């Protein structure tokens, strides 16, 4: 059975048994919070449980490293929609220890891209077009510093209201323990 078949088969039974009923809620986040966090597999269930978050409580935006790559990229866009359309008034940027984006070896990653059949010419064309691939793939050297930078970027963004509260935290991906890096109050 393929992964798709396996998921579709499970899904059919899930619907038949009306297992969705316990998750019923609205698209308005009850706690008026948006969390920006990392796609790390260890956080999928651990993060909401360790923060007492259930379906309907918060908006969650995830990517590799809980990073904001660009002031007008998709993360800031999501935050702006959450703030103005869904009344979010506090943002929690939550990075984590032993993140794959911390000290990421971009040389090794680029070699893997080449090994999988992407040509060096393609890389060069992108580089000539002004895309610094290694810089773009690079994560961060310190999770705390990365979180501080993200908090500052959100706070100083020209489209973000001054009263928005932005916190920065680090979560332990084994225990769920939170440490505050930036207290937004």
Q: With CB under 5 A as the contact rule, which of the stretches 91-99, 114-122, 164-172, 175-183 interacts with Zn ion?
A: 91-99
Measured from the CB of residue 158, what is the shortest distance to Zn ion in angstroms?
28
- Residue numbers 30-49 binding Zn ion by CB under 5 A: 38, 40
Q: Is residue 143 at the binding interface for Zn ion, with CB under 5 A as the rule?
A: no
Compare residues 99 and 181 and give the one whose CB is closer to Zn ion: 99
Q: With CB under 5 A as the contact rule, which of the stretches 24-32, 92-100, 107-115, 127-135 interacts with Zn ion?
A: 92-100
Alpha-carbon distance of 166 to 161, in angstroms, equals: 11
Beta strands in the chain (DSSP E): 33-38, 58-63, 90-96, 165-171, 178-182
50 conformational bin, left if phi > 0, alpha if psi -120 to 50, beta if neither: alpha
Q: Tell me how crowded residue 81 is: count the other CB atoms within 10 A of its CB.
A: 13
Q: Is residue 99 at the binding interface for Zn ion, with CB under 5 A as the rule?
A: yes
Q: Is residue 170 at the binding interface for Zn ion, with CB under 5 A as the rule?
A: no
DSSP state of 23: G
For residue 160, how far is the Cα from the chain centroid? 19
Burial 146-155 (b: 16+ CB within 10 A, else e): bbbbbbebbe
Compare residues 32 and 42 and give the one whose CB is closer to Zn ion: 42
Measured from the CB of residue 175, what is the shortest distance to Zn ion in angstroms?
16
Give the binding-site size for Zn ion (rule: CB under 5 A): 3
Measured from the CB of residue 105, what is the shortest distance to Zn ion in angstroms?
15
Compare residues 33 and 147 and give the one whose CB is closer to Zn ion: 147
Chain residues that interact with Zn ion, rule: CB under 5 A: 38, 40, 99
């Amino acid at each position: 059975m393929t992964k798709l078949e396996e998921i579709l088969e499970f899904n059919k039974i899930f619907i038949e048994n009306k297992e969705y009923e316990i998750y019923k809620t609205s698209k308005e986040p009850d706690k008026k919070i948006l969390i920006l966090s990392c796609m790390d597999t260890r956080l999928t269930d651990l993060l909401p449980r360790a923060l007492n978050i259930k379906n309907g409580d918060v908006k969650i935006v995830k990517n590799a490293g809980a990073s904001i790559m660009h002031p007008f990229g998709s993360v800031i866009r999501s935050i702006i929609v959450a703030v103005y359309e869904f009344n979010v008034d506090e943002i929690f940027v939550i990075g984590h220890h032993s993140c794959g984006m911390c000290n990421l070896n971009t040389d090794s990653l680029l070699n893997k891209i080449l090994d999988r059949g992407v040509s060096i010419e393609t890389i060069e064309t992108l580089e000539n077009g002004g895309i610094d691939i290694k810089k773009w793939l690079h994560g961060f050297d310190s999770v705390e510093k990365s979180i501080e930078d993200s908090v500052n970027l959100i706070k100083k963004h020209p489209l973000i209201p001054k009263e928005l509260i932005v916190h920065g935290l680090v979560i332990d991906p084994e225990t769920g323990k939170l440490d505050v890096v930036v207290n937004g109050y």
